[in-house]
């Protein structure tokens, strides 16, 4: 029997970490969804960067909420045997519901961000009417919750089989920015661009940041003959792209450059 939105958020809430200014003022919010291997240090990097400009950031741990660790994620989620994007899209919807209701959050100023599997889950959510019990693996999906979302920031999202965006249109079209890796071995760059071009032709306001890097370029270390490699240039570009996107979507003022102190 599928969980209700309230039941799913009750599981996710204790496994969600918050970053942001130490006040109770209502502020815009960024919700971050990790890749298939679970929350990694680079997710905190982006959350802290967002918090530094006055955005509340919430890191949702979908594995911990299910009692799973990194080994479970790598062996089962990364291989597609458990928790595919369609199922995890319910986590995204439940997080929107829970976080938009917090008094310290401006309810309709939310950006969803996802890395790899997290991006897949967000993209799958955008393809679903959310009008029938069972969609997004929820008993009571609610399409009105998408109205809280101002934008999507997706980093090397998984857009290979069985991702729904390969064959389904998006029914919701929040402003979107996507960071792609030209050497991505899980979702070939040309395929990702093709899908995004189709969505753009359908009316999605989307722009792309492209980096000469591999999938998971913001992971700090890989072992053996792994095809993925850390790329600090891509990390810096993604961070700058995220902060610029948040300022644009939330209509935040860009701080003026510091002036040099007078001499003499």
Each residue's pLDDT tens digit, 105-131:
999 999 999 999 999 999 999 999 999
Q: What is the CATH number of domain 5-249?
A: 3.40.50.1820
From residue 5, give the alpha-carbon distance in Å to each of 94, 101, 183, 225, 226. Answer: 5, 13, 37, 42, 38
Tell me the β-bridge partners of 58: 18, 31
Cα distance between residue 205 and residue 202, in whole Å: 9
3-class state of residue 39 by DSSP = coil
The residues near 81 (Cβ < 8 Å, ≥ 6 apart) are 75
Report, as ranges of residue numbers, the positions in the chain whose pLDDT lies below 70.
Answer: 222-225, 254-264
pLDDT given for residue 189 in this prediction: 98
- Please state the length of the chain: 264
Across 212-238, b (16+ Cβ under 10 Å) vs e yields ebbbbbbbeeeeeeeebebbeebbebb
pLDDT given for residue 223 in this prediction: 59
**Residue 214: closest CA among 188, 196, 239, 176:** 188
From residue 105, give the alpha-carbon distance in Å to each of 23, 151, 247. Answer: 11, 15, 16
For the beta sheet containing 56-60, the strands, ordered from the edge strand earlier in sequence to the opposite edge, are 16-19, 56-60, 27-33, 105-115, 149-155, 175-181, 206-211
Q: Give the predicted TM-score (pTM) of the model.
A: 0.94
pLDDT given for residue 262 in this prediction: 40
Work out the mean pLDDT of the chain and round it to a whole number: 93
The residues near 194 (Cβ < 8 Å, ≥ 6 apart) are none
The residues near 22 (Cβ < 8 Å, ≥ 6 apart) are none
């Amino acid at each position: 029997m599928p969980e209700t939105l309230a039941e799913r958020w009750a599981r996710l809430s204790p496994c969600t970490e918050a970053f942001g200014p130490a006040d109770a003022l209502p502020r815009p919010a960024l919700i971050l969804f990790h890749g298939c291997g679970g929350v990694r240090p680079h997710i905190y990097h982006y959350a802290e960067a967002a918090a530094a400009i006055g955005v509340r950031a919430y890191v949702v741990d979908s594995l911990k909420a299910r009692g799973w660790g990194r080994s479970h994620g790598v062996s089962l989620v990364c291989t597609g045997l458990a928790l595919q994007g369609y199922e995890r899209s319910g986590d995204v919807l439940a997080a929107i519901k829970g976080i938009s209701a917090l008094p310290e959050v401006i309810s309709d100023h939310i950006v969803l961000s996802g890395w790899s599997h997290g991006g897949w889950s967000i993209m799958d959510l955008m393809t679903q009417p959310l009008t029938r019990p069972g969609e997004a693996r929820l008993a009571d999906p609610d399409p009105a919750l998408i109205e809280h979302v101002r934008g999507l920031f997706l980093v090397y999202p998984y857009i290979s089989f069985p991702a729904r965006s390969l064959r389904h249109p998006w029914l919701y079209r929040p402003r979107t920015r996507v960071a792609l890796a030209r050497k991505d071995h899980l979702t070939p760059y040309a395929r990702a661009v093709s899908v995004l071009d189709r969505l753009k032709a359908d009316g999605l306001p989307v722009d792309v940041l492209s980096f000469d890097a591999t999938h998971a370029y913001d992971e700090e270390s890989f072992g053996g003959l792994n095809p993925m490699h850390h790329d600090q240039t891509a990390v810096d570009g993604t961070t700058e792209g995220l902060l610029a996107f948040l300022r644009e979507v939330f209509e935040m003022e860009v701080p003026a450059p510091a002036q040099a102190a007078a001499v003499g």
